[in-house]
């Protein structure tokens, strides 16, 4: 499993993070451009950058660690 650490995904046009592999990506503790987390069908109130299926994004940060 690929693991990403302490990133900020803000203002991406299509996806903040897109996974097209069969392996999941561990992308927890990232800022997605919104307090409510990324836009994804499993996060109906999310309003940040969109993530694809195959991305574990919970829990997320509610502030930008890289201003």
Q: Tokens representing 25?
A: 């990506």
Q: How many Å separate Cα 21 from the centre of its chain?
A: 16
pLDDT at 1 over 90: no
Query: What pLDDT score does 8 carry?
Result: 93
| Total domains in the fold of the chain | 1
List pLDDT tens digits, range 49-67: 999 999 999 999 999 987 7
Q: Residue 55's beta-bridge partner residues?
A: 25
Are the C-beta atoms of 32 and 49 separated by less than 8 Å? Answer: yes
The DSSP output letter for 43 is B
Condensed to tens digits (0 to 9), the pLDDT of residues 8-56 reads 999 999 999 999 999 999 999 999 999 999 999 999 999 999 999 999 9
- Domain of 32 in residue numbering reads as 1-10+19-67
Cβ proximity of 24 and 55 under 8 Å: yes
């Amino acid at each position: 499993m690929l693991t990403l650490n302490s990133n900020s995904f803000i203002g991406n046009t299509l996806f903040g993070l897109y996974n097209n592999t069969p392996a999941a990506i561990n992308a927890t503790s990232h800022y997605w451009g919104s307090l409510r987390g990324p836009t994804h069908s499993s996060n109906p109130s999310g309003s940040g950058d969109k993530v694809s299926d195959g991305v574990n994004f919970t829990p997320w940060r509610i502030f930008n660690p890289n201003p």
